[in-house]
Amino acid sequence: MPIKPERIAELTKNLGKAKILILGDIMLDEYLFGQVNRISPEAPVPVVEVTSDNLLLGGAANVAANIRKLGDEPLLLGVVGLDDSSVKLSQLLKSKKISSKLLVNDDSRQTTLKTRVMAGNQQIVRYDRENRHELNDETERKVLAKFKSVIDDISAVIISDYGKGVISKSLLESVISLCQEKEIFVAVDPKETHFHNYKNVSLITPNHHEAGFAYGKRITSEKELIEVGNGLREKLQAKSILITRGADGMSLFREDCEPTHIPTFAKKVFDVTGAGDTVIATFVSSVCAGAKLHEAAIIANAGAGITVGEVGTASGTPELLRKELHLNIKNGNLVKN
């Protein structure tokens, strides 16, 4: 099912007209850049001489940044601490024109901060400061109340689950039920240990390791890929599953359809950080712009190709997506059934 140039033009022109709510684990991604010229005399480890640093939105906040870059309005809903990182997060959101009005503060938690130390394009080490316990009842009620306050204004919901405690089974069931009543598209970027909770959603976007773990079978061949994709979709009663496969691209599974396999668009891979965020954001934005599921998957694959070619949580604009898609049409590299 190839996608024609005129259809690409139509869909990318329609991007950026929706309000999309992002619910999940909000993070800050800190990068420390430097060079390694010696080994420490204290231990057999490299000494990184830091020359610059950068602070980026991560997790659900990065999904929101992707949505904003595509032109849609992101409504970011999640929980942060009352700490220095939450202040930096609010400032960064403001600079990206993303509202923080739906954020819930919880002084029993710290805002998730992931620090990556980079030497050139190589990550030397990552250290995390975070909590992973589930929300208390009061905080969860606040999150659900904020969700209900905007449900009539949104076109889609993205659930970004990194297993940090925000996406509990009870909250997920309430959100999915409300969205079903309103016929709102719900997409989930899953945590593999929570798969049994993601039922009756519109889209799930696991990577091939997560999908294999959830189904109970490791994916080592195309036959196993098809068994896992179709079986997992049926088990969860999901409308669709998009399995991301790294260098092998993506595979889309839908009811009463043959799988659609899309080769990778990436020409170079510097950093896979945030690639899953880009995939789900671009897919959902494309659906809101009128794309069919297989068309949205192709556009999302283009977004992933842009992201992994940059260091940090980069993402694509409609213009970049259009160029990437046209280039891959020219190269005959869009769909492989």
Catalogue the active-site residues.
277
Rounded Cα–Cα distance for residues 38 and 174 (Å): 54
Spacing of C-alpha 166 from chain mean position: 16
Q: In what order do the strands lie in the sheet with 260-262?
A: 103-105, 73-80, 19-24, 156-160, 185-189, 203-204, 240-244, 250-254, 260-262
Rounded Cα–Cα distance for residues 54 and 329 (Å): 35
* Residue 193 neighbours by CB distance under 10 Å: 12
CA atoms within 13 A on the CB side of 194: 24
Q: What is the largest CA-CA distance in the chain?
A: 63
Q: In what order do the strands lie in the sheet with 26-39?
A: 46-59, 26-39, 112-119, 122-129
DSSP 213-227: HHHTS---SHHHHHH
Which residues share a beta bridge with 158? 22, 187
- Give kind and range of the element (H or E) at residue 189: strand 185-189
How far apart are the two ends of the chain, measured CA to CA in Å?
8
